[in-house]
Chain A
Amino acid sequence: MNANLRPVRTAAEQSLIDMLDARLAAPPLGSARLNDLRQEARAAFADNGLPTRRVEDWHYTDLRAALRGVSPLAGDAAEPAAPSAFVEALRVTLVNGRPQTLPSDLPPGLTLLSLADAIAADHPLLELIASDGPAQYDAALALNTGFLGEGIILHVAAGAQIPQAVEIAQLFSGAEPGCIFTRILVVVEDGAALRLIERFEGPAERAYLDNAVIELRLGDGARVDHVRVQAEGEAATHLGTLATTLGRETHYDLFVLTLGAALSRLTVYGRFAGHDSHMGVRGASLLAGARHADVTLFVDHAVARCESRELFKTVLADRARGVFQGKIIVRPDAQKTDGRMMSQALLLSDDAEMDNKPELEIFADDVQCGHGATAGALDDTTLFYLMSRGLPEKEAEMLLIQAFAGEAVEFVADAEMREAITARLTAWLALRAG
């Protein structure tokens, strides 16, 4: 039936399909729409499978080759020790995708719902799930949609300015490796504001797979400051997808700190659906050992007069490998677009590697866009300058690495979050310096 010339399925692909089939054979969960979404996703995955390096968007991360096997879905597990505070925040903890006791006493305008409860109640917000995804097939997203069932919905009512930061801690727990498929929907209505933190953590010794999708909708005039700290266990595979749709006159700033996982991929889909909006997508990746971290961005300027800023800093030690791919798309109607993308890598070892691929696709004529990428070692002259003032070599290096990453961190508006990120950078550097 299927004329595609696909190679034989890998063990990992076959187990994922078997797991999807088992899930779909169980009594239907939720509305017909959700079940259709799952079925379509299953069919798309069965047709396309895991991406290889021949798939352009995954050229530097051959997921099909990397995923040797897949462990079963992670079940209920004891709640692990809570991670230390990042900044003072209202914390929601998800263990293996399942929300633990939700905080009571929420500020007015903020609603938190477990996805399972929302599905059972056929909540109207579910309509927004997977309603504005990418046009092209995305394996990580398709798998997540196929297993759709666990996660959380966060809703901010129109005009509400949530005073506390909200932290979603996503933890893996289990005596055996497992896989998690978590779906998060964040809806920030017109004129509302939210500071959001996402954290990913898990035990160093478990080779688990964490597939996490977050969809954000910003209503007109909304503002979201989003910090994402990926500190998964050292043996983990992290497949993250972040899809944000911005209304008119919105302000969205994302900062991604990548520290963990043996293999990680984050795909960001940012789409401007309303005029005069700002989107900042920035981050720092600190990679040592044999870590592989891929950050891939699609910034879609679909309408006029929007501004986007993308800045990623990657620090690579040992044999680590970093990937940055970024595409700014300026559609024919998106006149007066202002888009700037930059990826910079600092290589601390001869065995480290960085692949940079920033791109522009411009279909409008009155726009200002630019992109660039650099990769290089610490500058010897600068290092000597610092040492000649009395800084020992390691300390001088740390100061320079911190300064390098700091150029992205400084765009985080919230001072507390900036400090918390800087503290993580310092801790990473201190650990490396021994």
Chain B
Amino acid sequence: MLEIKNLHARIGDKEIIKGLDLTIPAGEVHAIMGPNGSGKSTLSYVLSGKPGYEVTQGSVTFLGEDLLALSADQRAAAGIFLAFQYPVEVPGVANMTFLRSALNAQRRTRGEEEISTPDFLRLVKEKAPLLGISQEMLRRGVNVGFSGGEKKRNEILQMALLEPKLCVLDEADSGLDIDALKVVADGVNGLRAADRAFLVITHYQRLLDYIVPDVVHVFAAGRIVRTGGKELALELEETGYAAYSQDAA
């Protein structure tokens, strides 16, 4: 589904991704673990098309298409979704309006019919309670006045409604208590499917107890330095990242 080859990317003059190779087949969950500042969020932004990130070398192919040639909105319509490490507050745009505009915009880009109001309401009514998002929160501005945990759950709600093909979760667990963590994990697990893949970025093994990965990658200094099964996460929990950081330096 996703194939990244020898990717180099920079912000301004600073190279952050330094020769990354990563292949994620459909149906799999891949975890990326790595120290602070190693470039994990940068990778997620490069994949989702944030302006300001310059790819200097390499390629990213998504479902056979050159992903890097697409704008952020086109990538979303193609099936890329990024659950932000720090979800953004959008005052004055009601959560509900936002969800609907996003869903319809993606459909238009794909040349599909817009969703009808009753169908949309039914969909929201079905998904929102599973993530503990109340009617009142749906009426409020996007993420405005939401707690850290509520913001994260709202990201997963967006993901559940937009039904992307590749879900990139950037520290979906940060700031969550154990109950919220389960809610988020259930939301993610409910979306696991043969034609969908996940890239789960995290520092801690804890999240991976709930969202069990097929493959774990260790990311340091801008590239993948080791790849293994889910037991690699446990090992990292023991040893920390020190060895890899030195390796990279």
Contacts and interface: CB of A to CB of B under 8 A. Distances in A.
Contact of B51 (A380, A385, A390, A407): A380
B76 A387 contact: yes
Nearest to B161: A389
A403 B92 contact: yes
Contact of B84 (A385, A390, A407): A385
A381 interface: yes
B90 A390 contact: no
B101 A393 contact: no
A392 B108 CA distance: 10
Nearest to B72: A387
Interface in B34-77: 48-52, 71-73, 75-77
B162 A384 contact: no
B92 A404 contact: yes
A390 B106 contact: yes
A385 B71 CA distance: 13
Interface centre among A386, A393, A400 (most CB of B within 10 A): A386
A406 interface: yes
Nearest to A384: B50
A382 interface: yes
Contacts of A391: 73, 101-102, 105
A390 B72 CA distance: 7
Contacts, number: 75
B109 interface: yes
A387 B73 contact: yes
Interface residues of A, number: 22
Given A389-B98, A390-B105, A393-B71, A403 B49 contact: no
B90 A385 contact: yes
Nearest to A392: B73
Nearest to A385: B88
Contact of A388 (B82, B90, B91, B141): B82
A399 interface: yes
B77 A390 contact: yes
Interface in A361-407: 380-382, 384-393, 395-396, 399-400, 402-404, 406-407
Given A384-B72, A387-B76, A388-B76, A406 B106 contact: no
Contacts of B225: none
Contact of B88 (A382, A393, A395, A407): A382
Contact of B92 (A388, A390, A392, A407): A407
A399 B77 contact: no
B94 to A, nearest CB: 9
Contacts of A400: 90, 92-93
Contacts of B77: 390
B124 interface: no
Contacts of B81: 388
Nearest to A394: B73
Contact of B93 (A381, A387, A388, A399): A399
11 contacts: A382-B88, A382-B90, A385-B88, A385-B90, A387-B49, A388-B82, A389-B102, A390-B102, A390-B109, A395-B105, A403-B93
Given A385-B84, A395-B101, A396-B73, 15 more contacts: A380-B51, A384-B72, A385-B88, A388-B50, A389-B76, A390-B73, A390-B77, A390-B105, A391-B102, A392-B109, A393-B73, A399-B98, A400-B93, A403-B93, A406-B92
